[in-house]
Amino acid sequence: MGSTLVGHFTLFLISWLVIITKVQSDNKAFVDVWKQACAYSGRGVVLIPKGTYYASSMVFNGPCKGQTLFSIKGILKAPIDKKAWVGLESWISFRYIVHLEISGGGSFDGQGSYAWPYNDCQTNPHCIQLPTSIGLEFVNQSLMKDIKLINSKSFNMKVFGCQDTTFENIKIRAPATSPNTDGIHIGSSTGIKIFSSNIATGDDCVSIGPGTDNLLVSGLTCGPGHGVSIGSLGKYPNEADVTNLVIQNCNISGTSNGVRIKTWAPSPPSNVYNVTFENIGMNNVDNPIIIDQQYCPFETKKCGNGASSQVQIRKVKFNNIYGTSKDKVAVELKCSPSKPCVELSLKNINLNFPGGATSSCSNAHGTATGHEQPPACIN
């Protein structure tokens, strides 16, 4: 066994098991340790033991020679000084890695309360960028499990360009009032699976962007937040289609939306198809089932009056959606007049509101079978 002192780190190297025992914002040592583990042809392990540690922005690059484990058992805290994070895309990035595992039961604390006052994106389309806590880019055949993300400055996690990567028992926490703190955002990725996770934030628990294909979300507990959202789509030209999604066996509570598809109007053309929402319980949710093809968070400042979305939505199933709605309109299908939703399917919908829930539909075509409460309004 050998030991070396690097900056404020004490590193213990035990057959390529690298243990970081003391961290005080020495990012170079963190990255150096990663490089050693990544260069090992066996199973390289970077271990952050129990305790509280601090680190500024870090990028962990591959490819690695073998499997690499990033094991966090302590609490890793992000910087609070604005100069250390303004304009950054991510606090911690993992890039171009195959067979990565991030686990250990520890926490990534974004210390977002120091940054949220700078977020005016609801009224300012040119607002400053706040960093995501964890960014995964081109990370394939990998696993993230048994970790916690707390109070991210912006999105908690972004998944981009990834394939066949699984997230299991992820716990994400941020106040309901925290802005743009999406739990897990997925884009341009295929074969992503999210199992048995608990997400409570100020925005979408899971948000699904352009280019997402073959996604499974199962066993999610969501709330507070904005529910599970596909979109927003159609903001930029040449967006890739969103296809083959299954969101199932979830519980959504106290959110502003339940399951949602949202597209900008006007928008360039793209497609959403082969989507299934099934076996999902709603508890006091504002909009349990909603398609909104007139999405425009900046109202008329950015969107054209009477403009029409060119995103085609088809083959979307809502099966066995049940529980309570906070709004009388429990099912709202507001589709595009120039690209109506087609081949929608509602089966066994049971959403209750005092005095009776209702449905609202425009340009929505498909079938409704089984028990329908509220009564279906699709053509």
Task: Please state the length of the chain.
Answer: 379
| β 213-218/198-200 pair status | unpaired
Give one DSSP letter per residue of 256-308, joined into a string: S-SEEEEEESS---EEEEEEEEEEEEEEEES-SEEEEEEE-TTGGGTS-TT--
Say how far apart CA 204 and CA 206 lie, in whole Å. 5
Torsion angle, alpha carbons of 344, 349, 352, 357, to 10: 40
108 in helix, strand or coil? strand
Catalytic residue among 8, 99, 185, 226: 226
Per the annotation, the verdict on 8 as an active-site residue is no
Asked if residues 3 and 21 have their Cβ atoms less than 8 Å apart, the reply is no
For the chain, what is the total number of helices (H) and then of strands (E)? 1, 31
Q: Give the end-to-end CA distance of the chain in Å, rounded to a whole number.
A: 72
List active site positions: 226
